A = this chain, B = another copy of it.
């Protein structure tokens, strides 16, 4: 594929073994460049409608207000000039917008391998795998509780799958570790098994501070102050509540100049009005208040307009994925974020099925196409999400990642480089001929049309002869093959030891009893 970017060789030393190793790495370890989305953003709002939505959000903040259930935050809002009444903050629109204006429009996320650094904002976008699953469907397609080794496998797959730009963090919850120590091992696994960018745990302010310390070990304190190296997600409890856990984690990230995703957690119809535009009016008020607060913590700190979005079945109360209303909301949220000139995060390839079946495929592809058309920047949950996030499917993980590679190709737009050459082929072939042997076809053989590895397009006879495998079967074979070929990216042994030292010390300091927290 033309957009592939090979990493530098694993070692600068010459010699037979290293050269062979470098060659192997170059073959199996690669990453697509940051997506430069060439699709015209789907704009569904007229200028007047956009203004109406914006005004509604401002009115919600000014008149209804939003709870910041955290004494530090309340003090900071008061000092910034907002009306504070108990836990309720009612910032006026001038204050909110003045703060949001200093959120940077673009972020470069620096990976420990500089070749894997990526950009977010404007028309630049990245795919980040799912996180937070309490179960997995494993390499044998068995649904069970995940262990640290399972998480490591997902980090290895994230490292190897070209459309994934990040190893994220707790793709699955490592249930074999005490809750209070998990954030350390999750962060280490993200760092150790991949040299792409990653996410940091926000399960508490203290845990987020530990992530900051591990990043300082890895990147150096000075570097980190001026370079975004890790993202953290902060959920609002919709409607209109930011809680202390999330706000203290936000402060850990923002105060160190690291980007937070300010993500209202929306189950539309349950915690928002049951209507598309009004739900977004509330979500927008929530997201903007979070973004504004990052700028109170540190002016100019990078931050991302976020949301987690589902619609709720009015029959059963269950959250749904891939629905028309989610696609509509994505389009208008994107338009709002561009209006505010801030990068924005959405969720991708979400599925509600208990199996990796046709339902999962429809839901996932619908969402992928919707978020590409909406020009989302930080495209999270891009691999593995099924059963409304209750499990990460190994089979779906690798198929979703291939779909993201196809989405990357689609959104990269049309190649005009060979236009005249190809038209000359039309002259050569003429009516009734065929192109398969023509020099233009042979010259563009490899990259003309995306041919997915994991989809079968052969005849039924050939498919039967090859074992009549379904998508799940093919995908699990592929995942096994990748894991068998995996090679750990190099990490300076001194840094590795320093990270492990830090973890050992913190494990001694933190009592191994705590409760499970998740962030989506």
Selected from B65, B315, B416, B426, the residue in CB contact (under 8 A) with A282 is: B426
Contact present for A268 and B449 (CB under 8 Å): yes
Contact present for A320 and B414 (CB under 8 Å): no
A365 in contact (CB, < 8 A): yes
Tally of A interface residues using CB under 8 Å: 127
Contacting residues, chain B, for A366 (C-beta < 8 A): 365, 368-369, 403, 406
Selected from B45, B312, B415, B418, the residue in CB contact (under 8 A) with A449 is: B312
A64 in contact (CB, < 8 A): yes
In the bound complex, CA of A356 to CA of B43 (Å): 34
Contacting residues, chain B, for A213 (C-beta < 8 A): none
A359 in contact (CB, < 8 A): yes
A140 in contact (CB, < 8 A): no
Given the interface pairs A388-B457, A427-B64, the reply to whether A419 lies near B52 with Cβ below 8 Å is yes
Given the interface pairs A435-B270, A455-B359, the reply to whether A444 lies near B275 with Cβ below 8 Å is yes
Contacting residues, chain B, for A269 (C-beta < 8 A): 435-436, 441, 448-449
Contacting residues, chain B, for A470 (C-beta < 8 A): 355, 357-359
Contacting residues, chain B, for A427 (C-beta < 8 A): 63-64
In the bound complex, CA of A226 to CA of B224 (Å): 73
A493 in contact (CB, < 8 A): no
Contact present for A332 and B273 (CB under 8 Å): no
Given the interface pairs A419-B275, A456-B353, A456-B354, the reply to whether A373 lies near B440 with Cβ below 8 Å is no
Contact present for A240 and B273 (CB under 8 Å): no
Contact present for A409 and B324 (CB under 8 Å): yes
Contact present for A354 and B460 (CB under 8 Å): yes
Closest approach, in angstroms, between the C-beta of A466 and any C-beta of chain B? 11
Contact present for A450 and B357 (CB under 8 Å): no
Q: Of residues A43, A413, A435, A456, which shows the largest number of chain B Cβ atoms within 10 Å of its Cβ?
A: A435
Contacting residues, chain B, for A435 (C-beta < 8 A): 239, 269-274
Contact present for B403 and A362 (CB under 8 Å): yes
Closest approach, in angstroms, between the C-beta of A57 and any C-beta of chain B? 10
Residue of B whose beta carbon sits closest to that of A400: B362
Contacting residues, chain B, for A317 (C-beta < 8 A): 436
Contacting residues, chain B, for A311 (C-beta < 8 A): 448-450
Closest approach, in angstroms, between the C-beta of A333 and any C-beta of chain B? 12
Contact present for A430 and B240 (CB under 8 Å): yes
In the bound complex, CA of A143 to CA of B460 (Å): 11
Contact present for A422 and B40 (CB under 8 Å): no
Contacting residues, chain B, for A38 (C-beta < 8 A): 44
Closest approach, in angstroms, between the C-beta of A233 and any C-beta of chain B? 21
Selected from B328, B410, B416, B468, the residue in CB contact (under 8 A) with A414 is: B328
A496 in contact (CB, < 8 A): no
Chain A contacts with B in 404-448, Cβ cutoff 8 A: 406-407, 409-410, 413-416, 418-419, 422-423, 425-427, 429-436, 438, 440-441, 444-446, 448
Contact present for B237 and A460 (CB under 8 Å): no
Can you report 8 A-B residue pairs in the complex whose CB atoms are below 8 A from each other?
A: A67-B431, A278-B423, A281-B419, A314-B448, A324-B450, A328-B413, A354-B463, A363-B365
Q: Which residue numbers of A lie inside 8 Å of B, CB to CB?
A: 38-40, 42-45, 49, 52, 56, 59-60, 63-67, 88, 143, 237, 239-241, 268-279, 281-282, 311-325, 327-328, 332, 352-366, 368-370, 373, 387-388, 390, 395-396, 399, 403, 406-407, 409-410, 413-416, 418-419, 422-423, 425-427, 429-436, 438, 440-441, 444-446, 448-452, 454-460, 463, 468, 470-472
4 extra interchain contacts, Cβ-Cβ under 8 A, other than A64-B426, A239-B429, A352-B456?
A42-B42, A239-B432, A239-B433, A357-B471
